[in-house]
Amino acid sequence: SIDVVVNNAGYGLIGPFEEYSSEQIEKQFKTNVMGLMDVCKEIIPLFRKQKYGTIVNISSIAGKVTFPFYSAYHASKWAIEGFSESLQIELKPFNIRVKIIEPGAIKTDFYGRSADSTKIPGSAYEHLFSQALLVMHKSVAHGVNPEIVAEVIYKAAQSKGSRLRYAVGMDAKIVILFRRFITDRMWHWLMRMVLFKK
């Protein structure tokens, strides 16, 4: 039998939306969303037949809040959030649980092999994008260790409860809570101040 499936495949497409190619956007969704859905489609009949199972989908803080230059990545993670929430309700009568993991910054090579960038010399966005990248790299340097994320995934996989979302890292917990209580205008102002210093 299979008790738990963890959908962890994913990467980030980073850069100005205007400069993304259609192929880059399609690849982002094929990996982050369609790949995850394909795995779920394969495992659900087995879980239904054995009358139990847990699906753990790795989302991100990027599925709850937004930052500039992550538009396609955000779109993919927000898709995972909506898909997983709907799926949880759908599969509950069959004793199949769905869990969403929402990490913040993690000390990994997310900006290396786990990223695709559209950084183009001479771009109208070059200065803004460079500024934002510096801040983003610093956040990863101060992020949580991957082992912490693994522990939360294990906790979610073991859980028999109906809890859906698991934020990982103090930054994720604070930012998600903070965003819930401020307006769009305030969030946009904060992003400009933090990332662009204006």
* Residues acting as catalytic residues: 73
As a whole number of angstroms, the distance between CA 123 and CA 7 comes to: 35
Look-up of token digits 């205007």: 18
Distances from the Cα of 198 to the Cα of 131, 136, 189, 190, angstroms = 11, 17, 8, 9
As a whole number of angstroms, the distance between CA 151 and CA 101 comes to: 11
In three-state secondary structure terms, 155 is: helix
Residue 49's identity, in one-letter code, is: K
Residues in the chain: 198
Residue 51's identity, in one-letter code, is: K
